[in-house]
Amino acid sequence: MRFVAADPGIVVGSHLSLAVAAFAYEGPVRRALARLKYAGASSIAEPVAERAAPTLELLAALSGSAVLVPVPIHVERRRQRGYNQAALLARRLGKASHRPVVELLERSAITERQHRLDRAARMRNLRGAISVRPRCAVPAVVIVVDDILTTCATLETCAAVLHAQGGGEVYGFAIAREL
């Protein structure tokens, strides 16, 4: 299986210092992530994360001693799916990079699926839906982990929430970037 590297472009936001993706969201990566997300193929997280780990290390060289924080999904969606794909990926990436993984964020509202929404609609969709878990301290440096980076709305929303709770630098990492 051949994975295609993402374009060299990077994403920055109002709250997000920098976001990168390991691969382009096409071909085998697209099929693998679709199976992970929608077909219950949780075992795909390990080989995909292992292939993405070198790109995470490049980001980690900039971010220093960052903690990995997976993008949350609502408990109802987690019940349906059986797992949070971003958490599976973050745990595998954490193991590969020897970084702690903290499920610091929670999704308090069921949101519309993002894949057909533009950036503005995605931002509206996420407004008020993500928060820091009660009694959790936000680390100084965080890398938010997601499966697919499209408009960066999810990573930007997570970064804004972390900043509002006293967080410092927030970076983003995704397995694939939709080009």
Does residue 9 sit within a domain? no
Does residue 4 sit within a domain? no
Does residue 5 sit within a domain? no
What is the pTM assigned to this prediction?
0.88
Dist. CA 101–CA 91, nearest whole Å: 6
Per-residue pLDDT tens listing for the chain (179 residues) = 455 555 545 666 789 999 999 999 999 999 999 999 999 999 999 999 999 999 999 999 988 889 999 999 989 989 999 999 999 999 999 999 999 999 999 988 766 665 666 656 665 666 777 899 999 999 999 999 999 998 888 899 999 999 999 989 999 999 999 87
Number of domains making up the chain? 1
Does residue 100 sit within a domain? yes
Does residue 110 sit within a domain? yes
Domain that holds residue 29: 18-177
Can you spell out the DSSP letters for 56-121?
A: HHHHHHHH-SPEEEEPP--HHHHHHHSS-HHHHHHHHHHHHHT--B---EEE-S----GGG--HHH
CATH at 73? 3.40.50
